[in-house]
Amino acid sequence: MHRTARLVPLVPLLALAAGGTLLSPAAAGAAGGPAAPATPAPVEREAAGTGTEQRVVRRYWTEARMEAARPLDALAPRKDGVRLTGSASAAQAAAAPSSVPATAPDGADGGGGGSAAAGRTGAPSAPARTARAVDGSPWTRGGAVTGTAGRVFFTYRGRNASCSGNAVTSENRSTVITAGHCVKMGGAFHTNWVFVPGYDRGERPHGTWVATALYTTPQWNNAEDIDHDVAAAVVAPLDGRHLTDVVGGQGVAFNQARRRQMHAFGYPAAAPYDGSTLVYCSGRAFDDFLMSRDLGLNCDMTGGSSGGPWFLDFDEATGLGTLNSVNSFKYGFASGWMLGPYFGVEAQAVYQAAQGAEAP
């Protein structure tokens, strides 16, 4: 397709609950197929590695600083080495090409993606249809997600900003999944990185968890490739306890079929939201047909929701699901679409590196 498109990352526009399912590499990958090629190692950056550093970071994030943290101006991601610039202005949203619908198909034919993308395995499921929420509705049903999802705060080039993230089941009981641009952007890793699970109107019911290490894909680290906008953080224990011992953790899966029913969560902080409450969208994912290999959902969440979890098989009664993507970016001319990276072998490598790290 020969079209000049503008991408808007949700940089901030631009975190073991019973029943959670952690899929092993063998279960998540293709069964009986040829050996996969070696995957480049994730990029790791040490954060607050000592107790003294962690106390300094934790004290830094006062209530006032958290409330003042706002989405950054868009620093659009690179695609195939080319910088795609843009911001999410109303004028851009109004300038959508006539061939691009305001609302993408809700699921298409349920074919699971076919053979178009390497690494997709398994047959698509046929979940019962639920009412779609595309307007970024507040999540009021409680459940595990109100503890595992949270806001991410960090300093980027002297400015305090926020993203979203989700605690997942892991060997070290200390792993948070988020978006790549929520740990590094414009060639620099963020500092003062913390995760606040269950954030609600300024309250921190489960405390403030300081990152000791940040991980992202080599593709995001080297070229800010939007197809690989995935990251993980390892957080230090708090009061002698590990993260998922306190808030629980959601399962995580890789190399799954596409076009599945999904729920997306986050803490959007750009208008008309203010980042104070957990918000969600739901519907059947579609395949991006413009400038990425990402998954898409019809969703009106805004900047600050970046890194928030997308769940397969989400149970609205229990708040449990299987994390399978994160909020990543929007096209400037299609503000009603949310795009998230396909969780393939690269995302899996990031998760494995993070969950195997020691949480000091």
Assign 101 a pLDDT band (cuts: 50, 70, 90).
low
pTM: 0.80
Task: Give the phi and the psi of residue 289 in degrees, each rounded to 5.
Answer: -110, 15
- Does 110 score more than 50 pLDDT? no
Q: Who's near 106: CB < 8 A, 6+ residues apart?
A: 132, 283, 284, 286, 298
> Which whole number is the average pLDDT over 318-323?
98
User: What is the pLDDT of the chain when averaged over all its residues?
Assistant: 80
Average pLDDT of span 290-317: 95
Q: What is the pLDDT of residue 1?
A: 40
Domains in the chain (CATH in brackets) are 15-24+41-80+114-355 (2.40.10.10)
Q: Is the pLDDT of residue 260 over 90?
A: yes
Report the percent of the chain where pLDDT is more than 90: 67
Q: How far apart are CA 13 and CA 16, in angstroms?
A: 31
pLDDT, position 96:
39
**Omega prior to 272 cis, within 30 of 0:** yes
Q: Which of 102-106, 292-296, 316-320, 326-330 has the lowest average pLDDT?
A: 102-106
- Reported as a single tens digit per residue, the pLDDT across 128-176 is 333 456 678 999 999 999 999 999 999 999 999 999 999 999 999 999 9
Burial zone of 312 (CB within 10 Å; 0-12 exposed, 13-18 middle, 19+ buried): buried
**Chain segment 24-51, per-residue pLDDT in tens:** 233 333 334 455 567 789 999 999 999 9
